[in-house]
Amino acid sequence: MSTRHPSQPLSPQRDTDAPDPDRRRWMQALGLAPAALAVASHTRPAHAAARLKTQARIVILGSGLGGIAVANRLTRLLDGAQITIVDRKEEHHYQPGYTLVASGIWPKAKVIERNEAFLPAGVQWVKDMAAAVDPDARTVRTAGGLTLPYDFLVVATGTHQDWSLIEGVDVTRIGQNGLGSVYPSADAAAATWQAMQTFARQGGEALMTLSTTPLKCAGAPLKMTFMLRDRLRQAGTLDQSRISFMCGPKVIFGVPKVAEAVLARWQEMAIGVTYEHVLTAVDIDARRATFQTPDGQAVQRSYDFLHAVPPMRAPDVIKTSALAWQDGPMAKGGWLEVDKETLQHRRYPNVFGVGDINGTPRGKTAATIKKAAPIVVDNLVAAIAGQPPQARFDGYTSCPLITREGSAWLVEFDYEGRLTPTLPVVDPLQDSFLAWMMKVRLLKPAYIGVLKGNV
């Protein structure tokens, strides 16, 4: 918890991984640090079985957490497989840390790694982007014109942020004139912190938004709202400010118990919520946002700080392919049509999906990949061996929901929206210093373990 006096300037980019002997002793005394790390990683015993001999050609689209985690696991289970990762990106971003950067808890450098440090030996890395997939011909074509045949395909492309649906937004101007967004990049997160600092010093009108599409880390807009309020409190400008949460859908969060708890807290904090107001345009210079309402009216609101959340969909390479859902609620976004339990494609059994790209009821968080990546690998290996899939995914998702500096809720749930707490000493809907410590100190090491295929 911060001890900064409101009259002191906000201190940007503090590294909360710096030694803190009092809190470390407190955690060790209770015996919670090891337990928290175990829960964060959901440690899974390594496979002891002999490696399966195969000459299968496996192409993985994407080098984020899901793609690299699957690659690392496959290299340990298969002997002779030709594994190829397709992705131009050489930097690896720890995206769960973006909210910490955007609210001044971490420096930007703390969320940036290099993909080459995590790719397993023997895996071919094609530094290009996938441009087209032909699941009938079993080929991937890259933007540079390379054609890659495959026997099995793992789709781990993540989401596409469709900023084109918000007229006037220029992501290169995030950080200017009160415009913020935690989503586009580490640079945008750092720029958002600068905009938040400026706003907190003077106070004013803040608009926090939520789009209507499926989102990766759907809790991020809530975290940013809590942290903005806390920064105003610390700066002593809370009384001169108003925070409004402009919610595109009819609910602020898809898990009813969590949504109810957040709304109760926001009512105490005088944070207003307006439903079914979809952000459609921003005039950055005039600091004016336009929202579409259900009756077709366009409502304009002036702001001093705006946190914009983009609509999201599948990248074009999947959205325009036969792999996308053809009907149902996931078809509009072009999400990958997988069975929600096996994560195997429903029409092309040699295709699997992991992470944000999947057209499943929930599951666009890093914690989801932690539990889903081993399931994808187990079922893919079974398919290579000519066996049906046995592993099943329950939709596990975790959202350490920051409520202020030094406190968070450790929210975990499944496909059905049932709370599934894994740490008995932490009430998932009560402020917890331990949940905060997990978020800022323990979850990145657990993430790296997932990336390397160790947990």
Distance CA 207, CA 184 (A): 18
Strands 139-142 and 130-134, sheet pairing: antiparallel
- Residue 140 class from Cβ within 10 Å (0-12 exposed, 13-18 middle, 19+ buried)? buried
Catalytic residue among 169, 218, 399, 450: 399
Determine which one of 190, 217, 317, 442 is catalytic.
217
d(CA 128, CA 207): 38
Helix (H) or strand (E) holding 160: strand 160-161
101 — phi, psi (to 5°)? -65, -45
Cα–Cα separations (whole angstroms), residue 423 to 5, 177, 220: 33, 42, 22
Please list, residue by residue across 33-58, b when 16 or more beta carbons sit within 10 angstroms of its beta carbon and e when fewer do.
Answer: bebbbebbbbeeeeeeeeebebebbb
Distances (CA, A) of 40 to 148, 300, 403, 434: 37, 42, 19, 12
Q: What are the φ/ψ torsions at residue 251 (nearest 5 degrees)?
A: -135, 150
217 is catalytic: yes
d(CA 415, CA 82): 34
Alpha carbon distance 279, 165 (integer Å): 9
- Picking from 333, 38, 281, the residue whose alpha carbon sits closest to that of residue 165 is 281
Helices (H) and strands (E) in the chain, counts: 11, 24
Task: Judge whether 399 counts as a catalytic residue.
Answer: yes
Kindly state the helix (H) or strand (E) to which residue 290 belongs, with its residue range: strand 288-292
Q: State how far the Cα of 207 lies from the Cα of 140, in Å rounded to an integer.
A: 42
Q: Active-site residue numbers?
A: 217, 399
